[in-house]
Structure 1
Amino acid sequence: MPDDLKPKIGQSFMTLDRALDFYNNYARYVGFDTRKKGSKKEKDVITWIYVVCSREGTKQRKNEQHEVKRKRSSIKCFCNAKVSWKFFMGIGYVIQSFVEEHNHEMVEERHKHFMKLNRNLDLVHQKFILDCANANIGPTLSFSLLKEVLGGLDYVGCTVLEVRNYRRDLRAYVEGADAQMLLNEMRRKKELCAAFTYEFEVNSKDRLTRLFWCDPTAKRNYHLYGDIVSFDTTYSTNRYCMIFAPFTGKDNHGRPVTFAAGLLSKENADSFSWLFKQFVKCMGVAPKLIVTDQDLGMKVAIAEVLLNTRHRWCMWHIMNKVADKLPKNMLGSEELKKELNACVWSELIEPDAFEESWHAIMERYGLANNDWFSSMFASRKFWVPAFFRDFPMSSLIKTTSLSESQNNFFKRYSKCRANLMLFYMNYNHALEAQRSNSAKLEYYDSTKVPILRTELEIEKHASTIYSGSAFNAIQEEIVYACFSLSCATLGVSTNRENEVYNINDKDSNSWTVTYSIGDDTYLCGCKKFERLGLLCSHIFCVLKYKFVKLIPEKLRGWRWLKSQFVKPIHGGFCDDHEIFSAVDEKKIAFKNMYALFFEIAQSIEGNIDQINAFTAIIEEGKKQLLGEGVVLSSIEKRALIENFYGSQVPNFIEVHPPNVVSTKGSGSRRKSKKEAAIKLAKKPGRKCGNCHVIGHHDSRNCKKVNEKTKQRQ
């Protein structure tokens, strides 16, 4: 090996880090791992230290009375290779002794990347793992991505185990302080923006039990789209078993939009009442309708707090339980499934018709005496779609996929073992993605021109006022009403106040559209406009008959219009807060630097001379900016994690996180054979079927069987 890489007695180093790096580089080149053996310290200064080969010594053997739970092989073989340094003031660390000889073979070149010295996480690894964690990418996939970035497994410099351990240390960094850090972060946001709201409660032991938060953008969205709110608590953070409770609605594009969120340690009426009170206090007005699952605590809390709010059960949750409540012999019945869905999911069925259809299904399949189905019918006012018909926009939740999609949306950004800070960070990432999608749709609405299917002025007018998704639905109704032979006006009757039109549709149903002359309003028997805020083909058929070229203002609904036309549903909202994030010039500059680096790296890939030249330029620039021999200290490494969380671990903790709960997979420890035998010996024995002796033994190997076998032989 090169002589300048080999340690020599009397060789000095200014710092201990440089000394250790020098010997470790020597060990890497030769092919062995190292281990610190001992040191001395005086007044915070290490005055003496020596490092040995990792195969020095021998494995300690435990007392035979203590069972070894994990049998692992050992690499130790009494190797005597070592080096020692002594500190001298003004000189640094000087090598005092150096033993070069080993009593074992060195690691082969093709195996060197498995050595512990070659599996350290340097700055590149740590920054990459932190970025992956910030994007909610797990350790295994992070390692796979790192392998691709660095050119293969032989060049990664670590294994997936080191990546997992680093992610473990990342969580451990905020252990016990994550609740306080979360509240400190929310307090900081409150100081920066007075419109940010958060409230919390602790128990007698100062452990966080309830938390509610809402930012200005969420408040604005609620006052624009908060006529109906879906409240679902089917997802928990799991580490502390705190229930995640988002308040969700739909925006003018039909996409989920988050109004506020909470974390609760208990799912009871008191907790839900507290959360609903905070929501109403924050927004200033309660929702017109709220959709939940069948939780009794929610029902009690809503009746107590949301006095003028209609409460409906989520159909998705109810229909998910049907398979569990049906008798086993009916689980495979496709006919029952079709009839039940046709009855329950019909938008046009009247209450009387629903009751008749429901009773018929229950009688036909012998479910009339089933307690669950009977209770569902008795509580039909909470869930039957027909009962929504007198409530505007109620069928926004008619498919009831809102709560399901919203929880799945947040689950993608949250890991089951996440601490509170990680959960809050991932929640913000999910919220950012949600709002970015909404902004993208607004951009499309303002720049893209929809493809028209007719030359009608009314279709062109609709394309200028409705959002993209709403226009697609309106367009279908216009085309059907104006060009389908099955949609036609059968007759018209007129009096001084009203014009009544009989309209036929493709299903041979006859609908009545009433036009009020004095109010200039239209009312259709299908009540689609009242349910969804979107015009039906029956009204469009009448508008065509009356030669109306533009959609009347009273028929636009204001719910599905383009963003600039949407009016607040809840009055009294003052949108005077800045909700757009300011441009961070440092992040822009950092992004440009990154882009420049990768552009050059991609251009010179494969040319070793250019790569070496570029590396020399970077090293020279590093010396100019940071000085000679910069080594990443433990403080700087800690700063990486602090930047990841956005804050430091507080010195004083007032609010503690809830107690950590056991999660799936953390069951009882598997007993060893010895423990199992001891436990078995304490139990009373059973009588052997052959020898009739009480004891724990295999009857096939008892003495009596063995004696008979000998006699036969």
Structure 2
Amino acid sequence: MEDNPTDHASTMEDNPTDHASTSTAMPQANVEIHAEGDVVDQIDGTGSPSSQIQVNVKIVFSPGSRKYYVPICEPSLKPYVGQKFPDLDTGIEFYRRYAANCGFDIRLGTSRRARDNTIKKKYVFCSREGEKYTTPSGKISDTQAQKSSTTSKSNDVQSEMSPINKSNDMQVEKSTRNRPTTRLGCETRIIFDLSTYSTFVVAIFEEQHNHPLCSERYRQFLKTNRNMNPGHQSFVLNCAKVNMGPTKSFRLYREIVGDYSSIGCTSVEFKNFGRDLKAYTEGCDAQMILDNLCSKRELSSAFFFDFDTDDNDQLTRLFWADPISRRNYAAFGDVVSFDATYSTNRYNLIFAPFTGIDNHRRIVTFGAGLLSKEDSDSYAWLIGKFKECMGRQPLMITTDQDLGMRKAIESVLPDTRHRYCMWHIDKKITERVPQCKNAESSFRAKINEVIWSDLLEPSEFEKAWGDVLTEFNLNNHTWLGKIFEVRHNWILAYFRDNPMSGLARTTSISESVNSFFDKYLNRSSNLVEFFMKYDNAIAAQRHAQDKLNSETTISIPAMKTQLPIERHAMELYTSRIFIDVQEEISAACFSCTILAIRNEGSSCTYQISDGTSTVEVVYDSVEDSYTCSCRKYVRWGLLCRHIFVLFKERKVRFIPDKYIVSRWTKNALNTVSLTSGLNIIEKTDPLEKHKIVLGQLYSEFYHTIGVVGNDTETLESIMRSLKDHRERKSNVDTSQNTKRRLFEDHFGAQVPDKGSVTIHPPAPVHNKGSGKRIKSAAEIAFENSKKTLRLCRKCNQRTNHDSRNCDKFTGSANRTTDTNTDVSLED
């Protein structure tokens, strides 16, 4: 066979029939035929046996004693000269299946085209065709260059003193990586010619290989057998939704199919497909998410979103909230937590969710936004859109101590009480206060008792705060002095009279929100992937809420008393809230005592002791109202034990309607749905229906497999049925099984043409929370204390240095030799 396939093609084109007959009629000295399963020596590239493999080939010896391997397969899989195909792709695919069955890879070669650019001739080779490229003559090889650089010292001195210009020196070839080759000059090939009837005919078919064929065990690694079919692709896409990368997806797929050889590809193909997934939306992900949000608004008029762009039409601000989020806000939006989260997307946009507490005391999301800047204008825009969407201001909003947030809230939510998040401040106390003080358990206990108490009056807090700082000699601490100056914005004592302020006392809101979304979002996601993962996170959150609603409907907790009011509370509140109310009712019966009663006109004041403190409860007979000095009902919307004492004393059998706050009841969401007018879904999404049917199919399939068990005959019947459906669908329309369709179904939006993109992705920004987190000195010291010290190979001590910067041996300009050994210190 000629080295140049083009020249070879010219020879064949003159007389393809004669060439075909001569190329296959190789002179043979003898022939050895091996049946399937025979064991023969595997010959490496040098002609020597390297290992033994199982083969299904005919081994032919040429007159020069060179071995050739002719694969043996079913006649229906083997091409032949004169075989016709309706198009070129069908012919190549037929030859590809033949190669995969026989144990070798193929490579597409030269195409000959007519003047109208129609392919007239196509070459397809064995992947081991050709030879490895060798270094052109006239240059020094790597070995020669190494020898040239290790000449004697006298020659080096002479060369340095020589007046010869260095540019005249012999050029040294650039060092390259020593990569192995698979090219062995194999002459196996097939040539397709275009016939007069627009079909392609096999003109030449050469099947003899000059190398052993791949055994059955290793054929899974051939490129022809490593294909990402639509099933693989759908699996990778579904794993991406739950923040699972290609490598983990590959391992999970292996567990499903049972063996690596049954996968049909390797982890490389999974990674490449993940790469293609990101490249698919490059430059148009902002336009895609806006198109997707528009389609959601068409399905439901209650879906709300708005965005803003810069002068370059790049997305800079975005807010969105679906109907369920708006319904949740109508039910539980009295106190809102607003926190900026970072490292959730590749553009470093700030992710700012609006969250609250539902009737199970779990986190619930009201809406979210993306911002490119952390200034007051950006926060004001986002909070303004949140207010426009929800239609009313919350009673209270909690944030961190960001100045931009504070200015935005003052301007946009003037009637909302702003409170700093206790979780952030409590973390900073640990970092800012000297370590010696934090190490004292009494300091932490006393400071927590002061800042977390909701029973102290403001004056009582100020006195207790001063006593703690005086006891631990912290009166002159700068940071503690600063946070004391803003105590009205975070200390619970100053919020005792604010309705539902107890919800802001929950320390874990910000921490829970960050932890929750961290499980779904990552910093490498583009905007389309971000929204897809955000939707999955919200779906998981709502699934957990539905589960709690179901449990609270069917479960009946045990009663602690015989009072009818306890059973009424059980029927009224969710299980989580009833536990707290039940505790108050039980304490009213067994822990509280009426110390004194004082009548003043229509009101009656009761002095009640609960074992730890004494409070006063005032009952007004005209208003039929109860007021307790502990203020728990004001802060939480739940009655305290002291009022339950009076209910017990006055034989009240049911909790009065005026003291039932609907946000804690079982029917909180149902009541809102009837009064808010928010239609969750107005139109049916065909894609959602498809997902439901597909989910039911998966569930039924795995259920059936589990029921069948070890019945191999039934499993084979199911497999035949599935193959029949697949082949019928492939014959009807193969274009549907493309990456584009899968990607569009996966993202829920079509990729727009480059010319139709009007909103461009934002430029990557650098905000104060972006990138690597800056750690405090205390955190760094704590982490360093856990690390194992290095072992210096020079001083043989475990310390914070190594042999390169050992203080014991540095400082001298000239390196010396260790007198105790024969080895230089540099060595």
Q: What TM-score comes out, normalization by structure 1 length?
A: 0.87
1:492 counterpart = 2:597: yes
DSSP-derived class of the 1:266 partner: coil
Counterpart of 1:650 in structure 2 is 752
Aligned residue among 503, 522, 525 for 1:396: 503
1:58-89 per-position Cα deviation (integer Å, ceiling 9, x unaligned):
44568987856865433333333322222224
DSSP-derived class of the 2:663 partner: coil
Aligned residue among 733, 740, 763 for 1:638: 740
Equivalent-residue separation in structure 2 for 1:640 and 1:574 (angstroms): 38
Equivalent-residue separation in structure 2 for 1:587 and 1:285 (angstroms): 36
1:381-438 per-position Cα deviation (integer Å, ceiling 9, x unaligned):
1111111101011111212311221222222222321111111122122222222333
Equivalent-residue separation in structure 1 for 2:664 and 2:282 (angstroms): 46
Q: Which amino acid aligns with 2:274?
A: R
Counterpart of 1:414 in structure 2 is 521
Counterpart of 1:559 in structure 2 is 663
Offset, 1:170: 0.9
Offset, 1:452: 2.2
Equivalent-residue separation in structure 1 for 2:690 and 2:637 (angstroms): 45
Question: Which structure 2 residue ranges, 5 or more long, are not aligned?
Answer: 1-71, 143-171, 773-809
Q: 1:546 to 1:59 in 2, by over 3 A?
A: farther
1:443-498 per-position Cα deviation (integer Å, ceiling 9, x unaligned):
3444443332222111011112222211111011111211x2x3211121112132
Offset, 1:50: 1.9
Q: More deviation in 55-64 or 348-357?
A: 55-64
DSSP-derived class of the 2:453 partner: coil
Equivalent-residue separation in structure 2 for 1:164 and 1:664 (angstroms): 25
Counterpart of 1:143 in structure 2 is 250
Q: Is the 8 A contact 1:490 1:503 kept in 2?
A: yes
DSSP-derived class of the 1:390 partner: coil
1:189 counterpart = 2:300: no
Q: Number of aligned pairs?
A: 671
Aligned residue among 607, 613, 623 for 1:502: 607
Q: Is the 8 A contact 1:224 1:566 kept in 2?
A: no
Q: 1:576 to 1:131 in 2, by over 3 A?
A: closer
Aligned residue among 546, 552, 577 for 2:650: 546
Q: More deviation in 273-282 or 100-109?
A: 100-109
Counterpart of 2:333 in structure 1 is 226
1:350 counterpart = 2:466: no
Counterpart of 1:678 in structure 2 is none
Q: 1:85 to 1:313 in 2, by over 3 A?
A: same
Q: More deviation in 496-505 or 204-213?
A: 496-505
Aligned residue among 232, 257, 270 for 1:125: 232
Q: 1:29 to 1:586 in 2, by over 3 A?
A: closer
Q: Cα RMSD (Å) of the superposition?
A: 3.1
DSSP-derived class of the 2:394 partner: coil
Offset, 1:185: 1.1
DSSP-derived class of the 1:404 partner: helix
DSSP-derived class of the 1:157 partner: coil
Q: Which amino acid aligns with 2:88?
A: L
Counterpart of 2:120 in structure 1 is 47
1:622-646 per-position Cα deviation (integer Å, ceiling 9, x unaligned):
55x5374x68448733211111111
Counterpart of 2:781 in structure 1 is none
1:476-525 per-position Cα deviation (integer Å, ceiling 9, x unaligned):
1111211x2x3211121112132111111132x11111112222111112
Aligned residue among 342, 359, 362 for 1:235: 342
Equivalent-residue separation in structure 2 for 1:318 and 1:596 (angstroms): 51
DSSP-derived class of the 2:652 partner: coil
Equivalent-residue separation in structure 2 for 1:589 and 1:273 (angstroms): 43
1:637-683 per-position Cα deviation (integer Å, ceiling 9, x unaligned):
32111111112111110010112469969xxxxxxxxxxxxxxxxxx
1:109-162 per-position Cα deviation (integer Å, ceiling 9, x unaligned):
332222222222112211221222233333233212211221212211222222
DSSP-derived class of the 1:85 partner: strand
DSSP-derived class of the 1:699 partner: coil
Counterpart of 1:9 in structure 2 is 81
Counterpart of 2:49 in structure 1 is none
Equivalent-residue separation in structure 2 for 1:381 and 1:361 (angstroms): 19
Aligned residue among 534, 538, 543 for 1:427: 534
- Residues 107-186 of structure 1: matches in 2 within 5 Å? 107-186=214-293
DSSP-derived class of the 2:558 partner: coil
Equivalent-residue separation in structure 2 for 1:74 and 1:311 (angstroms): 69
Equivalent-residue separation in structure 1 for 2:250 and 2:241 (angstroms): 15
Q: Is the 8 A contact 1:9 1:95 kept in 2?
A: yes
Q: More deviation in 168-177 or 581-590?
A: 581-590
DSSP-derived class of the 2:611 partner: coil
Counterpart of 2:104 in structure 1 is 32
Q: More deviation in 130-139 or 602-611?
A: 602-611
- Residues 157-556 of structure 1: matches in 2 within 5 Å? 157-482=264-589, 484=590, 486-507=591-612, 509-556=613-660
Q: 1:635 to 1:126 in 2, by over 3 A?
A: closer
Greater gyration radius: 2
DSSP-derived class of the 2:530 partner: helix
Q: Is the 8 A contact 1:351 1:386 kept in 2?
A: yes
Equivalent-residue separation in structure 2 for 1:464 and 1:607 (angstroms): 50
Equivalent-residue separation in structure 2 for 1:108 and 1:618 (angstroms): 28
Offset, 1:257: 1.7
Q: Which amino acid aligns with 2:760?
A: H
Offset, 1:550: 1.4
Q: Which amino acid aligns with 2:181?
A: S
Question: Which structure 1 residue ranges, 5 or more long, are not aligned?
Answer: 666-687, 693-697
- Residues 82-93 of structure 1: matches in 2 within 5 Å? 82-90=189-197, 92-93=199-200
Q: Is the 8 A contact 1:494 1:500 kept in 2?
A: yes
Q: What TM-score comes out, normalization by structure 2 length?
A: 0.75
Equivalent-residue separation in structure 1 for 2:721 and 2:335 (angstroms): 60
